[in-house]
Structure 1
Amino acid sequence: MLTVLVVDDSALMRRRIADLLIEAGFRVETAATGEEALARLPVVDPDVVTLDVTMPGMDGLTCLARIMVEHPKPVVMVSALTGAGAEETLEALRLGAVEAVQKPAAGSIGRIGEELVETVRAAASSRPRRVHGLRERLRLARARIAGEDFVVPEGLPPAVPPMAASPAAVAAGDEGEGVVLVGVSTGGPSTLEDILPLLPAGFPWPVVVAQHMPAAFTATLARRLDELCALRVLEVERATVLAPGMVCIARGSADVELARRGGRLQAVCVPPSPDRPWHPNADRLVTSALRLLPADRLVGVLLTGMGNDGAAAMAELHARGGRTIAESEDSAVVFGMPQDLIRRGGAGVVLPSGRIAGQLTRWLMPVGRRAGID
């Protein structure tokens, strides 16, 4: 039987989460503070920790950092998932948490409770990521949340101005019209940091990312990535013309499709499809792209995440002659999505996250423009 340590300063919330998990077959222990959680961790030795984002005394970020250094375990952050809590929750994901889920409210909890149980179960089979420079990342996290100037974390390249693609160049399609399509879920924010900041400013194709995430988070995620990347990173709030030198993060809790309007390729935010369980949905994104572009003008990248979203459509992309990358098991927080693509025979290349940017660059950039990349 899997054991979960539930950490929350609210006795009501501890009981609510514990009841959900016990009913689902977990053994549950609880702690009311970060200090108590750290003391109980080596004694309980849980398979998963659920951790409140905001607690008095030792806050959730500090407790998480201590867990990852002293007794690494899969940690699921429990948050109100509001705009006000987005900064703290995204920092928790960057510091090594597996996923963030919404706090179950009073009364009928329905899908929220199901998602919490599913996420905890998936986290039990995940691998905690070793975050380099954890103490410095924690310091920077607090500085950003406090509104201080952003400083690039150690180990990442400094940001440079994004490439400004001229309208004439885009219209002429000097590099050929094409798009990189990325599907990612559990463990995604930190995995995207392994890839997107390493793409050079001259990267010739736009990148569109379907990261399973609530709407409150994606604007903050896009802003953070924009600070780290040579490419311009933005959230798709409305129809957005695609051009070289840009990364589009699909708005959370919705879906994103490619469309052609006035002859121009665009990323379009659309209502979530009720027959698909994950949003923004990677299968829907890739399927829409295949309607507009030949497969050899698309690259599909399927990263960490539970479930199988993106695998069917990227396998079809591969079968039609398109290029695909699946993240390998040794770097994936949860191997479900890329594993399903590999199982379907749809992965052209299988790579750890740290090598994916280099592969994309070798595929898409002319040799003479890859200085310092190969």
Structure 2
Amino acid sequence: MKRILIVDDSELMCEVIRGALRGLEEDNVIFVATNPLIAIRKANLFKIDLALIDYEMPYMNGILLIDYLKDINPLTKILMVSAYTEPGAQITLEALNRGAIDYILKPANKDEFNEFKKDLLEKVKGIIFQKDYAFVNIKRTTTSEKSEKKVFPVTCGIDNNRSHLINKLKESKVIAIGISTGGPPVLEKIFTSLNKDFSIPILVVQHMPPTFTKALAERLSKVAQRQVKEAEDREKIENGVIYIAKGGTHLAVEKILGKYYVRLLDNIEKVNNHKPSCDILFSSVAEWYGENATGIIMTGMGSDGANGLFEMKKQGALTIAQSKESCVVFGMPRVAIEKGAAEVVLSVEEIIDLLNRV
């Protein structure tokens, strides 16, 4: 039995969320708090396993409430109920950086309630029954820590294949990353830790809606102090630039007269229930870059990316899966590993160390 806390000042949203949670496969205790002060009191009285939090509330916002709930019980999982707006995207990214494990978009109208409840139920089931969730505690990085050079110890994952992996990475003309749940803090950690002269272009598919990917690119560019941008159709892929796939559009590449370009594919439906899809990116990189590429599949629920990463491996590219211990959700890397698509399995720190050896 799990204790779930709903925190929202809208009685209608509380009832919609409660309705979705009735679909859970076992009995759970569900608490409702119509403001953060009530939520804090309930969290002090009961061990809360999962809290579903709105942002705009009386007395304090959802970001501050995350801090309070984590101080009361660091094991409490946080799911943000986010607005589908630009400010909502910025807030959600901050919530993920502060310790929220995932988010779900609020329904814009009553017609979207059923789809919202279905998606919410799937996320909550995954979290409370720990299906592929590892619940890694991603340490928040302070400003002073970001300014310091990060040096990570090399562990056996790299030591056993050091020369081989480094040589294959050095031959890469591009790095493709597929990532989902738990991704933004991991991407922030990687990009802030890269050597300043790191020049291999990076293409990233992070499962997010359109407004969120633009906000993500802006945030990563600011904190990493390097060029991170939302990808644009037909732009030339330049060294040293990190391209984030636009939400709602597949990201691919093509080669014209010896140069590589970004392609955004609007006319292709969702793949593995995602748009952008990691499979589309990996398959495209396999086709146009062949062995001169590196593919990395990271934290996320589901199976997106496994097939495309396998195509990259068959073409001779270096393929990496994030280790279970360092994932928030091990689903995507797990499927890729089971399929034989990953040449090596590394932690986030090992991935950073490898990238910085180029």
Q: Are the counterparts in 2 of residues 81 and 101 from structure 1 also a CA contact under 8 Å?
A: no
Name 1:188's counterpart in structure 2.
183
Greater RCO (CA < 8 Å, at least 6 residues apart) = 2
Name 1:348's counterpart in structure 2.
343
Alignment of 1:65-214 (within 5 A): 65-72=67-74, 73-104=76-107, 105-124=109-128, 125=130, 126-132=133-139, 153-157=143-147, 178-214=173-209
Cα distance, 1:343–1:276 mapped onto 2, change above 3 Å: closer
Secondary structure in structure 2 of the residue aligned to 1:66: helix
1:318 is displaced (CA, Å) by 2.0
Name 1:9's counterpart in structure 2.
9
Residue deviations 1:316-370 (CA, integer Å, cap 9, x gap): 32233221111111111111111111112222222221221221232xx2xxxxx
1:230 is displaced (CA, Å) by 4.7
Q: Distance in 2 between matches of 1:106 and 1:326?
A: 40
Q: Are the counterparts in 2 of residues 96 and 129 from structure 1 also a CA contact under 8 Å?
A: no
Name 2:281's counterpart in structure 1.
285
Q: Which region of structure 1 is more displaced relative to structure 2, 46-55 or 296-305?
A: 46-55
Q: Are the counterparts in 2 of residues 211 and 279 from structure 1 also a CA contact under 8 Å?
A: no
Q: Are the counterparts in 2 of residues 48 and 76 from structure 1 also a CA contact under 8 Å?
A: yes
Q: Are the counterparts in 2 of residues 303 and 338 from structure 1 also a CA contact under 8 Å?
A: yes
Letter in 1 for 2:337: I
Q: Distance in 1 between matches of 2:39 and 2:212?
A: 27
Name 2:356's counterpart in structure 1.
361
Residue deviations 1:285-338 (CA, integer Å, cap 9, x gap): 0111111121x2111111111001111211232233221111111111111111
Tell me the TM-score normalized by structure 2: 0.85
Residue deviations 1:164-206 (CA, integer Å, cap 9, x gap): xxxxxxxxxxx86611000000011001112112222322320
Name 1:57's counterpart in structure 2.
59
Cα distance, 1:265–1:110 mapped onto 2, change above 3 Å: farther
Residue deviations 1:149-178 (CA, integer Å, cap 9, x gap): xxx72422379xxxxxxxxxxxxxxx8661
1:110 is displaced (CA, Å) by 4.1
Letter in 2 for 1:59: N
Identity %: 32
1:52 is displaced (CA, Å) by 0.5
Cα distance, 1:60–1:108 mapped onto 2, change above 3 Å: closer
Q: Is 2:247 the counterpart of 1:247?
A: no
Q: Are the counterparts in 2 of residues 258 and 289 from structure 1 also a CA contact under 8 Å?
A: yes
Q: Are the counterparts in 2 of residues 157 and 198 from structure 1 also a CA contact under 8 Å?
A: no
Letter in 1 for 2:277: N
Cα distance, 1:40–1:69 mapped onto 2, change above 3 Å: same
Number of residue pairs matched by the alignment: 330
Q: Distance in 2 between matches of 1:303 and 1:103?
A: 26
1:106 is displaced (CA, Å) by 1.7
Q: Please, what is the CA RMSD of the aligned residues? A: 2.2
Q: Is 2:257 the counterpart of 1:258?
A: no
Q: Which region of structure 1 is more displaced relative to structure 2, 109-118 or 14-23?
A: 109-118
Letter in 2 for 1:239: R
Q: Are the counterparts in 1 of residues 214 and 230 from structure 2 also a CA contact under 8 Å?
A: yes
Tell me the TM-score normalized by structure 1: 0.82
Letter in 2 for 1:327: Q
Cα distance, 1:316–1:95 mapped onto 2, change above 3 Å: same
Secondary structure in structure 1 of the residue aligned to 2:189: helix
Name 1:274's counterpart in structure 2.
270
Q: Distance in 2 between matches of 1:158 and 1:65?
A: 25
Q: Distance in 1 between matches of 2:199 and 2:271?
A: 34
Letter in 2 for 1:269: L
Q: Distance in 1 between matches of 2:138 and 2:271?
A: 36
Name 2:42's counterpart in structure 1.
40
Q: Are the counterparts in 2 of residues 210 and 280 from structure 1 also a CA contact under 8 Å?
A: yes
Q: Are the counterparts in 2 of residues 97 and 128 from structure 1 also a CA contact under 8 Å?
A: no
Cα distance, 1:111–1:270 mapped onto 2, change above 3 Å: farther
1:93 is displaced (CA, Å) by 0.8
What are structure 2's unaligned runs of at least 5 residues? Answer: 150-169
Name 1:232's counterpart in structure 2.
227
Alignment of 1:288-327 (within 5 A): 288-294=284-290, 296-327=291-322
Name 1:30's counterpart in structure 2.
32
1:44 is displaced (CA, Å) by 4.0
What are structure 1's unaligned runs of at least 5 residues? Answer: 138-151, 160-174, 366-374
Secondary structure in structure 2 of the residue aligned to 1:308: coil
Letter in 2 for 1:50: L
Cα distance, 1:275–1:311 mapped onto 2, change above 3 Å: closer
Letter in 2 for 1:121: K
